[in-house]
């Protein structure tokens, strides 16, 4: 049976992110999502893909893959995977969001943003592959 | 992303237009750090034209603000709206910055 997913594989580098944005926007348009929602979708993709580009294959290099399917009208199902080191980004500690300017830690906000923007969100490790999957948009309707 | 600086008597205004992401957030941080190295202590980021910011951009804003704070200066944000404003709110960063609707309001406070 054919997979319902459209898929794109590119080198796990930060400069691959714009091509993934363009690729998934095709799916977002066919799902009927609006332009402001697509910016939020770009943000989710960037946060996950940049983590892969920076950490998944250290100290080597590899690929990352994005697949999407229109789950239902106005809802996209997205899967992002790599064959790098086993790593569940969703299990990372929540960032410190309190305190003053001087002691506010820099970083840790990417996964936090993802969790606040998407709908269902999951990680799985199958054979040698990390996969993060999510539905978009989430219940908070960011950007709506 | 385009960054256009304007030098005022008490501050440097940096007009930021476009998308601030993992590829170019360092450009903003480095532009700010160059002005700080030249003695600027108050930077006003005019963000009316900022359409998008990711966590890498947030890191840059926070790093610059902390540097200026340690020098008794400030990074002032103006014109935040749309996705960038919501991202600052979501991460509870907004309250850590002086925030104004427009640049003139920010200048008037210095």
> What would the pLDDT profile of B92-107 be if each residue is shown by its tens digit?
999 999 999 999 999 9
Nearest chain A alpha carbon to B75: A101
pTM above 0.90, yes or no: yes
pLDDT for A142: 55
Dmax (CA) for chain A in angstroms is 56
ipTM value: 0.94
Q: Is residue A17 part of a domain?
A: yes
Q: Is residue A92 part of a domain?
A: yes
Query: Domain limits at B32?
Result: 2-108
Question: Which residues of chain A have a CB within 8 Å of the CB of B55?
Answer: 47, 107, 109-110, 113
pLDDT for A139: 86
pLDDT confidence band for A1 (50 / 70 / 90):
very low
Q: Is residue A141 part of a domain?
A: no
**pLDDT, chain B, mean:** 97
What CATH number has the domain bearing residue A21?
Answer: 3.30.565.10
Q: Can you point out the beta strands (E) in chain B?
A: 2-7, 12-20, 42-53, 74-78, 99-100
Q: In terms of DSSP bridges, do strands A129-136 and B2-7 run parallel, antiparallel, or are they unpaired? A: unpaired
Q: Does residue B6 belong to the interface with chain A, where contact is any CB pair within 8 Å?
A: no
Q: Is residue A64 part of a domain?
A: yes
Query: Domain limits at A110?
Result: 6-136
Q: Is residue A142 part of a domain?
A: no
Q: Can you point out the beta strands (E) in B21-109?
A: 42-53, 74-78, 99-100
Q: Does residue B20 belong to the interface with chain A, where contact is any CB pair within 8 Å?
A: no
Answer yes or no: is pLDDT of A6 > 60: yes
Q: CB–CB of B55 and A113 under 8 A?
A: yes
Q: How many domains does chain A have?
A: 1
Q: How far is the C-alpha of A15 from the C-alpha of A61, rounded, in Å? A: 14
């Amino acid at each position: 049976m054919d997979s319902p997913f459209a898929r794109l594989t590119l080198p796990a580098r930060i400069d691959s992110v714009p091509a993934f944005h363009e690729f998934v926007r095709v799916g977002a348009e066919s799902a009927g999502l609006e332009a402001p929602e697509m910016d939020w979708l770009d943000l989710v993709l960037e946060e996950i893909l940049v983590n892969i580009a920076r950490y998944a294959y250290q100290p080597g290099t590899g690929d990352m893959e994005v697949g999407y399917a229109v789950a239902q009208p106005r809802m996209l199902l997205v899967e992002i995977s790599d064959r790098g080191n086993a790593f569940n980004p969703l299990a990372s500690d929540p960032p410190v969001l309190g305190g003053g300017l001087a002691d506010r830690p820099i970083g840790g906000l990417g996964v936090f943003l993802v969790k606040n923007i998407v709908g269902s969100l999951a990680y799985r490790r199958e054979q040698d592959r990390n996969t993060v999957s999510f539905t978009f948009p989430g219940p908070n309707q960011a950007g709506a | 992303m385009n960054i256009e600086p304007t030098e005022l008597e008490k501050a440097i205004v940096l007009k930021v237009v476009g998308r601030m992401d993992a590829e170019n957030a360092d450009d903003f941080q480095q532009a700010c750090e160059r002005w700080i190295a030249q003695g600027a202590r108050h930077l006003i980021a005019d963000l009316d034209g900022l359409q998008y910011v990711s966590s890498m951009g947030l890191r840059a804003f926070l790093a610059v603000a902390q540097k200026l704070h340690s020098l008794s200066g400030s990074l002032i944000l103006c014109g935040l709206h749309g996705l960038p404003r919501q991202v600052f709110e979501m991460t509870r960063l907004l309250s850590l910055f002086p925030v104004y609707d427009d640049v003139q309001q920010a200048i008037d406070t210095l």
